[in-house]
Amino acid sequence: MPSLKSWNAIDFGLLLLNNARTADLFVESLARKIPQGGLRSYSEGRKPTEVRSWREFVRKRA
């Protein structure tokens, strides 16, 4: 069963990487995917177009 920390991370939508190698690979992939200054257009509270609710996801798969 997941720990309380895991549940809290999930509840708040935080990425939880427990494996050091996985965390390293994730950071390396972000460094390649996001060019220098690539997050300048980010604005807090704006939902990216590729993010959908679970209901929308399930409806499209059915």
Write the DSSP symbol of residue 46. Answer: P
Residues 6+ away with beta carbon under 8 Å from 6: 16
Asked whether 41 and 31 are in contact (CB, 8 A), the reply is no
Looking at residue 39, its pLDDT comes to 72
Mean pLDDT per 10-residue section of the chain, whose length is 62 residues: 61 74 87 78 76 80 60
Asked whether 51 and 57 are in contact (CB, 8 A), the reply is no
Write the DSSP symbol of residue 49. Answer: T
Report if pTM > 0.85: no
